């Protein structure tokens, strides 16, 4: 019987896995393989929080495969070397894998595909991460979109995403015993156990992903449009790490949401479902841009930002990383990130704006910190998000948009519950001052047990002054609009 290899990458699931389903349908035996090869990820090898997640996701995948009569074979890279070794050991005639869109990985994959085909091995690549493949969506001139609204309209004019592929009940395994590395040997776990908050917050793996989707559809979808911007409320799906590791497909989410709409949601709830699918579309847009503009992982899409006068300020950067800026909503977000490996999307925008606009620190410094600390550290989303806030990417925020962290906190965390959770030294403050403790009177500070500058830092910059400094720097860019 012929043998086929299925190379698992960022698609660590059994259900709606076209590469796996195709290999099983083809007859013969199937060898699922994962290759640990961080050196082939280019400038962006897997960060620390993502490595923690990967360890658990691989364990969950291995368990799911065993329940279907199969086994996950783990090897170290380089990828081509590992695949060729397995082909020799098994006599495999074909290799299947799901496409990825990161520039270094795409280049690596093209090389592997060419080399294996030259060896006489059949190679098939499959859509696995997105609802809409990037090559399918172009403007009337045949060029890629750079504005999300136009891009998303074009997507919605296409056919609905394909129906999810059922998980195979059995995966026929070869009779030979293949050598496989234990997951522990990959060194994904931190040597010093800082991951207690991550363990408390997350359940990596396909089962955890499905349960989180069910919970979101049941309790939060109908109020998503109204609640998604409020970090003090569980109004978002928190599916981003499951999507990043491919424990759940975007197609599955799409059709589950559509099924809820077809089931008869009230009009405002159906509108909320559309809003959620639009956010799924923003994720698609991020991968689309990375595919068409691969240089943006390290360079701004807008060339004039290459000359932006970024400030090298290691003390301010460290204060931002540690949640010690003196702006409670910023500090709460950065501490949530450090504790749980995740941050609410609205707060991500606030803390990113603070770094690049208030502190004039290069967006790439923020992208690198997020990359190492987020469990959903996705190169496409990370790149788009930071360039959007900095004003240097596709469909970017206007350069003169500078979030006021006090007003943002008061608007989206009006009772201060989010700040109180993550900045507990401010928990005794009354609502009017929770987002600006320096505005409190000495009496109020004493009542709250706070000595500014000791128990909680004074603001490291003055908002009004920082805003003017940022506007002056931005006006100086070639093509900047004065008087905005």
d(C-alpha 179, C-alpha 17), whole Å: 24
Predicted pLDDT of residue 482: 33
- Give the count of alpha carbons within 13 A of 472, CB side only: 7
Predicted pLDDT of residue 350: 98
Taking the CA atoms of 15, 20, 24 and 26 in sequence, report the sign of the dihedral they define: positive
Q: Which long-range contacts (CB under 8 A, 24 or more apart) does 260-267 make?
A: 260/217, 260/221, 265/222, 266/222
Predicted pLDDT of residue 478: 53
Taking the CA atoms of 369, 370, 372 and 373 in sequence, report the sign of the dihedral they define: positive
pLDDT at 264 over 90: no
Of 363, 369, 388, 422, the active-site residue reads 363
pLDDT at 181 over 90: yes
Q: What's the whole-number average pLDDT of the chain? A: 94
**Alpha-carbon distances, residue 222 vs 225, 229, 236, 422 (angstroms):** 8, 14, 11, 27
Burial of residue 441 (number of CB atoms within 10 Å: 0-12, 13-18, 19+): exposed
* Average pLDDT over every residue of 331-347: 97
pLDDT above 90: percentage of residues in the chain: 88
Q: Domain residue spans in the chain?
A: 3-128, 130-164+206-292, 303-475
- CA-wise closest residue to 228 among 215, 238, 218, 214: 238
- Contact indicator for 263, 275 with CB cutoff of 8 Å: no
pLDDT at 237 over 80: yes
Predicted pLDDT of residue 207: 97
- Sheet holding 73-76: strands in order across? 73-76, 29-36, 3-8, 94-98, 122-126
Give phi and psi for 142, each to the nearest 5. 80, 20
d(C-alpha 146, C-alpha 391), whole Å: 13
May I ask the CATH class of domain 303-475? mainly alpha
Beta bridge partners, 6, equal 32, 96
Question: Which CATH number is 3-128's, of 3.40.250.10, 3.30.1050.10, 3.30.470.20, 3.40.50.620?
Answer: 3.40.50.620
Show the beta-strand stretches assigned E in 127-248: none
Predicted pLDDT of residue 431: 76
Tell me which of 326-330, 352-356, 429-433 is least confident: 429-433
- Catalytic annotation on 363? yes
Of 89, 113, 299, 310, the active-site residue reads 310
pLDDT at 483 over 60: no
Of 36, 152, 369, 386, the active-site residue reads 386
- CA-wise closest residue to 402 among 327, 459, 467: 467
Of 313, 345, 404, 417, the active-site residue reads 345
- Catalytic annotation on 279? yes
pLDDT at 479 over 80: no
Of 124, 133, 256, 282, the active-site residue reads 282
pLDDT confidence of 268, banded at 50, 70, 90?
confident
d(C-alpha 180, C-alpha 4), whole Å: 17
pLDDT at 315 over 90: yes
pLDDT confidence of 96, banded at 50, 70, 90?
very high
pLDDT at 205 over 80: yes
* Average pLDDT over every residue of 269-290: 94
Helix (H, G, I), strand (E, B) or coil at 73: strand
* CATH number of this structure's domain 130-164+206-292: 1.25.40.80
- Catalytic annotation on 282? yes
Predicted pLDDT of residue 442: 92
- Contact indicator for 344, 421 with CB cutoff of 8 Å: no
Q: How far is CA 281 from the centre of its chain?
A: 13
pLDDT at 481 over 60: no
Burial of residue 138 (number of CB atoms within 10 Å: 0-12, 13-18, 19+): middle
pLDDT in tens, 77-94: 999 999 999 999 999 999
Predicted pLDDT of residue 266: 78
| Higher local confidence (pLDDT), 398 or 146 | 146
- CA-wise closest residue to 8 among 247, 280, 291: 247
- Catalytic annotation on 345? yes
CB atoms within 10 A of CB 430: 11
* Average pLDDT over every residue of 213-235: 93
* Average pLDDT over every residue of 25-44: 96
- CA-wise closest residue to 325 among 251, 409, 259: 409
In three state form, how does the secondary structure of 347-412 look? Answer: HHHHHHHHHHHHCCCCHHHHHHHHHHHCCCCCHHHHHHHHHHHHCCCCCCCCCCCCCCHHHHHHHH
pLDDT in tens, 189-202: 998 888 999 999 99
d(C-alpha 456, C-alpha 379), whole Å: 34
């Amino acid at each position: 019987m012929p043998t086929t290899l299925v190379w698992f990458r960022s698609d660590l699931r059994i259900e709606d896995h076209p590469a796996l389903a195709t290999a099983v349908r083809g007859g013969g035996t199937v060898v699922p393989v994962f290759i640990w090869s961080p050196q082939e990820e280019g400038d962006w090898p897997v960060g620390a929080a993502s490595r923690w997640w990967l360890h658990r996701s691989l364990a969950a995948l291995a368990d799911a495969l065993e329940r279907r009569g199969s086994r996950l074979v783990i090897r170290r890279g380089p990828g081509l070397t590992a695949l060729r070794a397995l082909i020799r050991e098994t006599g495999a005639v074909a290799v299947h894998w799901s496409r990825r869109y990161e520039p270094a990985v795409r280049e690596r994959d093209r090389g592997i595909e060419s080399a294996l085909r030259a060896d006489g091995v059949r190679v098939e690549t499959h859509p696995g991460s997105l609802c809409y493949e990037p090559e399918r969506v172009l403007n009337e001139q045949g060029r890629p979109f750079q504005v999300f609204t136009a891009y998303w309209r074009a997507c919605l004019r296409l056919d609905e995403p394909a129906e999810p592929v059922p998980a195979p009940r059995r995966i026929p395994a070869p009779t030979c015993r293949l050598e496989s590395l234990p997951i522990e040997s990959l060194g994904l776990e931190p040597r010093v156990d800082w991951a207690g908050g991550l363990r408390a917050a997350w359940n990596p793996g396909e089962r955890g992903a499905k349960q989180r989707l069910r919970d979101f559809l049941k309790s939060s979808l109908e109020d998503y449009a109204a609640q998604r911007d409020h970090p003090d409320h569980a109004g978002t799906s928190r599916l981003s790490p499951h999507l990043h590791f491919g424990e759940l497909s975007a197609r599955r989410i799409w059709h589950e949401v559509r099924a809820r709409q077809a089931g008869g949601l009230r009009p405002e709830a159906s509108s909320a479902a559309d809003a959620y699918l639009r956010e799924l579309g923003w994720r698609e847009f991020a991968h689309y841009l990375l595919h068409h503009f691969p240089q943006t992982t390290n360079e701004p899409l807008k060339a004039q930002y290459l000359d932006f006068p970024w400030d090298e300020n290691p003390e301010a950067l460290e204060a931002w990383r540690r949640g010690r800026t003196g702006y409670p909503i910023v500090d709460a977000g950065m501490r949530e990130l450090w504790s749980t490996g995740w941050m609410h999307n609205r707060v991500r925008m606030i803390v990113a704006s603070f770094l690049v606009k208030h502190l004039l620190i290069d967006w790439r410094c923020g992208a690198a910190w997020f990359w190492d600390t987020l469990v959903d550290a996705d190169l496409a989303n990370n790149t788009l998000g930071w360039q959007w806030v900095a004003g240097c990417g596709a469909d970017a925020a206007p350069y003169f948009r500078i979030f006021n962290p006090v007003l943002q906190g008061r608007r989206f965390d009006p009772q201060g519950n989010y700040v109180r959770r993550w900045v507990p030294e401010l928990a005794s403050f009354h609502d009017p001052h929770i987002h600006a403790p320096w505005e409190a009177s000495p009496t109020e500070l004493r009542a709250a047990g706070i000595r500014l500058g000791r128990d909680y830092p004074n603001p490291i910059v003055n908002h009004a002054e920082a805003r003017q400094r940022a506007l002056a720097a931005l006006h100086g860019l070639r093509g900047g609009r004065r008087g905005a």
